[in-house]
Chains A and B, each alone.
Chain A
Amino acid sequence: MAHPLEKYLRAGKLPHIWCAGCGHGIVTQAILRAVDELQLDTEKTVVVSGIGCSSRAPGYLHFDTLHTTHGRAIPFATGIKMANPELRVIVVTGDGDAAAIGGNHLIHAARRNIDLTVICFNNTIYGMTSGQYSPVTPGGSFASTAPYGMVEPSFDLCTLVAGAGGTFVARGTTYHARPLTNIIKEAIKHEGFSFVEALSQCPTYYGRRNKLRAPLDMLYWYRDHAVGVSQWEKLTDDEKAGKFPIGVLKKVEHAPEFSRVYSELIARARERSEA
């Protein structure tokens, strides 16, 4: 019997490259469930990615997909959206791809409020190149380039994107797979720049170095440290220490969306020149 999501996959491209226990498959599945539940027209949906383990996901997806270069998925996606605003454009990226080499593009797309859905598979490490620290690697944790612990402060990606002007910002984890699907659904439906940080375990390069050897250890870590956003707001600062909120963290509706604003501008300019 075929898996109900199989129609969204390029079966010939499987098996995938992800290590045993990697969370990226769970996030990919959450995306596909969201697409399925929303009954998105796959003919009008484009999935764009950069480079990294996470960015390999679109290679397995039976959509129009564009595998670009490291860090640049968002500008490619911006071009697609501006050329054809009818298309729904989903960007699949990693924490390094989105926040290190491509960090500039992330904040500018958020600032413009262009209608892209960016799903960042955040394993807090450069997975593909074997575990160097990224701008979101937590302070004190170990990476191949931080054998004595990470000393740089890290980004909180959701705060970064919200601060830059993104109008939909949410966080989920691979432990909370069902809520992650719901968040992604909401993000896709949102008109404007939507950003989902999906925490995804990397047992191979993060877990093994950080006393979270087994994939399940990392999933349980998400379970024990994530707090639903409504509950989060009731916590004192002391209670918040060491924990993080999940769910929809920012949602601004009816903010001017860039591709629309731009079309209106063109219409106005045309009117004026014809007048």
Chain B
Amino acid sequence: MANEQRLAAMTGNEAVAHALRQIDPDVIAAYPITPQTDIVQYYSQFVSDGLVKTEMVTVESEHSAMSATIGASAAGARAMTATSSQGLALMWEMLHIASGYRLPIVMPVVNRALSGPINIHCDHSDTMGALTTGWIQIYAESAQEAYDNAIQAVRIAEDPRVLLPTMVCDDGFITSHGIENVSLLPDEVVKGFVGEYKPSKFLLNISDPVTVGPLVLPDYYTELKFQQAEAMKAAKQVILEVAEEYAKISGRKYGLFEEYKMDDAERVVVVLSSAAGTAKAVVNQLRAKGEKVGLLKPRVLRPFPAEELVAALSGAKAVAVMDRAETFSTQGGQLFTELRAAFYDAPKRPLMRGYVFGLGGRDTTVREIGKVFEDLRGDLERGSVSEKYTHLDVRV
């Protein structure tokens, strides 16, 4: 199978557009925003050229884009949209509607810093702000992963055990506009993999009328939210099953996170998305010098794989968690605080420190990540963390 794939040089946005083309959803509604714009741009060309059967709806804002996607999904269509930053922020109200209605919408999000002041470059403040919206979140390091995640997301979201909307995230400009080699699966293979969407309840089914989103008061609201939480728990297993099946058609293996040179690693960096690529280079350099360092790259943040992450990090002595967004909690980034909380019940806890880095597109190079590993060395020698959470590469 794997050798039928087509290797092509393309940007992350083009790769995601091809994933969408192969999925060929019934409806895409969208509004342009940098750096997401050309996913939909490519797609509108596919529509115009008759390569897909999708109905494309160009609306007047992201609030409307998500609303139209929700309408289409509730009507029984496989519906998608894509966005970034302010667009995601403007969708906020609708994100909860999508998850609360249990609509398996898949949405690529190209991560970009939130205003203000306005900035168009990468950080994760947009999707980190959406962690409590009931959406599954999957992050990609590269264009290849962004493509693979988009295809898998359809199966995850639509699984009857899950039925939750899913964001597939990649880094603005770094991944969305950088050109890489991407292996594309044959169209029919993707079509076979995602299958046909067969919702069990939908508005256009006149023989089984349903109502979506009617008023629920204290009588049932709690149960509905409990069910959403249960579905999110179930998603963990589904994500792994889908990944296993995907490995069979693609030869590419995915899990809840990726472990890089973790076997005997004492000092470990935990970081999402494209910065993990840079961290791998640093790990390689330090390994060449015989240092026991490793990288853990989370792929799935919702559901948060707490037990699995704790197990994977159980051998580490000092861990640095790097977050590409502030939380303003004064306690560090989101990933850092969640991971620390996950270790509360662990019999053995490594030293752990947090960094906020790469805001508004600030480049994080091997030098900065090298410094993080140095800080960890200092902590190990001291036997304590010198500073719980800091900003990397900042003028104070």
Q: Does A84 contact B (CB under 8 A)?
A: no
Known: A130-B41, A148-B48. A67 touches B60 (CB 8 A): no
Known: A130-B37, A144-B44. A135 touches B86 (CB 8 A): no
Chain A 113-142 near chain B by CB (<8 Å), digits 1 or 0: 000000000000010111011010000000
Q: Does B298 contact A (CB under 8 A)?
A: no
Q: Does B31 contact A (CB under 8 A)?
A: yes
**Does B44 contact A101, Cβ atoms closer than 8 Å?**
no
Chain A 191-213 near chain B by CB (<8 Å), digits 1 or 0: 00000000000000000000000
Q: How many whole Å from A245's CB to the nearest CB in chain B?
A: 26
Of A67, A129, A144, A145, the contact of B33 (CB 8 Å cutoff): A129
Chain A 248-272 near chain B by CB (<8 Å), digits 1 or 0: 0000000000000000000000000
CA distance A148 to B45 in the complex (A): 10
Q: Which residues of A contact B37 (CB under 8 A)?
A: 129-130, 132
Give the interface size class of chain B: 10 to 19
**Does B58 contact A133, Cβ atoms closer than 8 Å?**
yes
Chain B contacts with A in 41-99, Cβ cutoff 8 A = 41, 44-45, 48, 58, 60-61, 86
Residue with the highest number of chain B CB atoms closer than 10 Å, among A67, A101, A103, A147: A101
**Does B32 contact A129, Cβ atoms closer than 8 Å?**
yes
Q: Which residues of B contact A101 (CB under 8 A)?
A: 31, 60-61
Q: How many whole Å from A213's CB to the nearest CB in chain B?
A: 21
Known: A129-B37, A130-B41. A71 touches B61 (CB 8 A): yes
Q: Which residues of B contact A100 (CB under 8 A)?
A: 60-61
Q: Does A111 contact B (CB under 8 A)?
A: no
Residue with the highest number of chain A CB atoms closer than 10 Å, among B33, B48, B61, B115: B61
Q: Does B290 contact A (CB under 8 A)?
A: no
**Does B86 contact A147, Cβ atoms closer than 8 Å?**
no
Q: Does B34 contact A (CB under 8 A)?
A: yes
CB nearest to A102 among chain B residues: B61
Q: Does A108 contact B (CB under 8 A)?
A: no
Chain A 89-109 near chain B by CB (<8 Å), digits 1 or 0: 000000000001101000000
CA distance A193 to B41 in the complex (A): 36
Q: How many whole Å from B142's CB to the nearest CB in chain A?
A: 24
Chain B 16-47 near chain A by CB (<8 Å), digits 1 or 0: 00000000000000011110011011001100
Additional A-B contact list (8), CB under 8 Å, known A100-B60, A130-B38, A145-B58: A68-B116, A69-B115, A130-B37, A132-B32, A135-B60, A145-B40, A147-B45, A148-B48
Between A and B, 16 residue pairs with Cβ closer than 8 Å are A71-B61, A100-B60, A100-B61, A101-B60, A126-B32, A130-B32, A130-B38, A132-B58, A133-B58, A144-B41, A144-B44, A145-B32, A145-B41, A145-B58, A147-B45, A148-B48
